[in-house]
Amino acid sequence: MLKVDHLSGGYGEKNIVNNATFTVNKGKMLGILGPNGSGKSTLMKLMSGILQPASGTVEIDGKELWQYATKELAKKMAVLPQLHAHAFSHTVRETVSLGRYPHQRGWFSSWSTEDEAAVVEAMEMMDISRYEHTAIDHMSGGEQQRVFVAQALAQNASILLLDEPTNHLDINHQKELLDTIKRQAIERDLTIVSIFHDINLASMYCDHLLLLDQGGIAAIGEPHEVVKEKEIREVYGTRVATHPHPELPKPQITLMPGVDRQAVEQKITKEDFSVSSEMVLYRSAAPLKTVSSAVINAGSGWFTTFMNRRVDENYRVSDTVEELTFYIEGKGFKSTDTVAMMTAVDVGQVVLENCEFEGGSIVVAVTAGAGNGTDVSMTHLKERRKKVGTVNTWIFVNGTLAEEAFLQAMMTATEAKTKAFQEEKVIDPFTGTIATGTPTDSLLVAATQQGGNFQYAGPISELGRHIGKTVFKATTEAIRRYRNPAPH
């Protein structure tokens, strides 16, 4: 265990680090974050004993740093300093072997099988064995960095202090290095303290984070307690947005540029939509912020092309995404910039509605098939397919939506669709009750993110009221057209 208690110090009279108190337990990894000059390296130097503290203590396993003899301390603690352009002419193997010095009695006179095994293992872990005989001044910055990490690992200390270990490394080597270090922490119960400039990497790999601001601890805790928009903005002086990592319960940040988005001013109306027997298509002049359950590019993103494609009733392919991607590209659109849905319903019967209101307007497009009407409260049957039936609903908003407004718009639209099914008395053929939708319905909300601000889109908000009313109207009309198609 590493314990830092009321630690202050710096260079000469002036303290750079002020009153730092924290502990790092065995098997845990602490990330130190902070802007340039905030004192991260100085704190590390105080922790490793390179600098004498002005006050406070650093304890390893209950004993203060100064009570350890140099070699004894080196067996306990390995340090990876910030890498500078030094021109060593040692080979990789020689450099890594230097990590074994605390285990030597005389210089290399007592090279043991244990020393050899530690060096070989460290070189393998850092993927540098093939450069074993290369002089490190002939290697790239990233390769050199891996050599020095291998040297620290070869030391076999229970505490690792790392100053920007991912400096110079490409994304794959950053990941490989941090995976290795993290695995070491878990398997060998190592205590790791590492300085990071990359907040996202630190959040992903560290158990705890410490945010330094002008030598003082501005925040300490689990990543979700430290990586917060307000804290990061205050300490780094830059605007960020936080969002969850897709696979891990760790927050990530995205920088917000100081330069505004160069958006083309536009107002979407239903007259901009093209309808053919093959598809309903809308192409926007500028990317629209979109949330959808489409087949291609579901989830959230920014897109300019929106497609509702008609497929044959007997359309069956093994990979729908691949087939639809191919179709989109074949039509001359970019699949990375297109949100696409499919339906077996006659898309020529699409209902398009404009709705103007205070501060904005919306366009709603609905294609509906009611042959597979499903009562969601009674869906106990597995195979339900009867006839053609999918409701694809698009809502385009001329306005700026907050995150919650996107989700509320989807809820409001779903309720409006269900009400339309009720109004049109669409029956679930398997249960005989009124259907609430179909099993394959899709929904899309896209906004220009210009003009009026809409924080909410629930049923009593200005935007929600109009979404509810317009989606209900368009869906009832689409169901009527499905039942009683108008000639083209």
Asked whether the beta carbons of 83 and 144 are under 8 A apart, the reply is: yes
Q: In the complex, what is the shortest distance from the CB of residue 152 to ligand ATP, in angstroms, rounded to a whole number?
A: 18
In the bound state with ligand ATP, the residue whose beta carbon lies nearer, of 22 and 302, is 22
Binder of ligand ATP out of 18, 38, 284, 367 (CB under 6 A): 38
State in angstroms the smallest separation of the CB of 81 from ligand ATP: 11
Shortest reach from residue 283's CB to ligand ATP, in Å: 46
Range 69-76 contact pairs with CB under 8 angstroms and sequence separation of 24 or more? 71/101, 71/102, 72/102, 73/49, 74/101, 74/102, 74/155, 74/157, 75/102, 75/103, 75/155, 75/156, 75/157, 76/157, 76/158, 76/159
Residue 385 one-letter amino acid: R
CA distance 471 to 394: 9
Nearer to ligand ATP, 11 or 108 (CB): 11
Which among 36-44, 296-304, 333-341, 368-376 is the span making contact with ligand ATP, rule CB under 6 A?
A: 36-44
CB 344 within 8 A of CB 392: no
Binding mask 14-33 for ligand ATP (x = CB under 6 A): --x-----------------
CB of 53 to ligand ATP, least distance (A): 14
What is the β-pairing status of strands 360-368 and 338-343? unpaired
Among 6, 11, 110, 243, contact with ligand ATP (rule: CB under 6 A) = 11
Residue whose C-alpha is closest to residue 389's, from 430, 448, 328: 430
Q: Considering just the CA atoms, what is the radius of gyration of the chain in Å?
A: 31
**Any contact of residue 39 with ligand ATP (CB under 6 A)?**
yes
Contact predicate 248/223, CB 8 Å: no
Taking CB under 6 A as the criterion, the residue among 2, 7, 40, 287 binding ligand ATP is: 40
Inter-residue contact 210 to 222 (CB < 8 Å): no
CB of 16 or CB of 152, closer to ligand ATP? 16
- Structure-token match 């110090």, residue found: 9
Identify the residue among 2, 24, 31, 34 touching ligand ATP (CB under 6 A). Answer: 34
Q: Which of residues 138-167 bind ligand ATP (CB under 6 A)?
A: none
Contact call for residues 29 and 181 (beta carbons, < 8 A): yes
Helix (H) or strand (E) holding 116: helix 113-125
CB of 197 to ligand ATP, least distance (A): 7
Which of these ranges, 38-46, 127-135, 248-256, 368-376, lies near ligand ATP under the rule CB under 6 A?
38-46
Other Cβ atoms within 10 Å of 145 Cβ, number: 23
Between 16 and 467, name the residue whose CB sits nearer to ligand ATP: 16
Task: Name the pairing type of β-strands 216-221 and 240-244.
Answer: unpaired
Minimum distance of ligand ATP from residue 400's CB (angstroms): 36
CB of 38 to ligand ATP, least distance (A): 4
Only one of the segments 40-48, 90-98, 374-382, 420-428 lies at the binding site for ligand ATP (rule: CB under 6 A); that segment is 40-48
Enter the DSSP assignment of 358.
Answer: T
Closer CB to ligand ATP, 16 or 83, in the complex: 16
Distances (CA, A) of 398 to 258, 265, 291, 351, 356: 24, 10, 15, 19, 9
Nearest distance, CB of residue 255 and ligand ATP, angstroms: 17
Token couple for 100: 């074994």
- Cβ neighbours for 320, distance < 8 A, ≥ 6 positions apart: 295, 342
Give the orientation angle of helix 462-483 with respect to helix 403-423, to 10 degrees: 40
User: Which of 15, 41, 361, 408 lies at the binding interface for ligand ATP (CB under 6 A)?
Assistant: 41
Cβ proximity to ligand ATP, 215 vs 399, nearer residue: 215
What's CA 84's distance to the chain center, in Å? 31
Q: Which is nearer to ligand ATP, 213 or 353 (CB)?
A: 213
Tell me, residue by residue from 42 to 71, as one string, x for binding to ligand ATP by CB under 6 A and - for no binding.
x-----------------------------
Q: Residue 85, interface with ligand ATP (CB under 6 A)?
A: no
Least distance from ligand ATP to the Cβ atom of residue 240, Å: 17
Instruction: With contacts defined by CB under 6 A, name the span among 35-43, 98-106, 180-188, 280-288 that binds ligand ATP.
Output: 35-43
Stretch that binds ligand ATP, among 1-9, 37-45, 152-160, 345-353 (CB under 6 A): 37-45
CB of 308 within 8 A of CB of 394? yes
Size of the site for ligand ATP (CB under 6 A): 10
Comparing CB distances to ligand ATP, the nearer of 41 and 95 is: 41
Distance between CA atoms of residues 332 and 336, nearest Å: 12
Asked whether position 290 contacts ligand ATP by CB under 6 A, the answer is no
Query: Which residues of the shown chain bind ligand ATP in the complex (CB under 6 A)?
Result: 11, 16, 34, 36-42
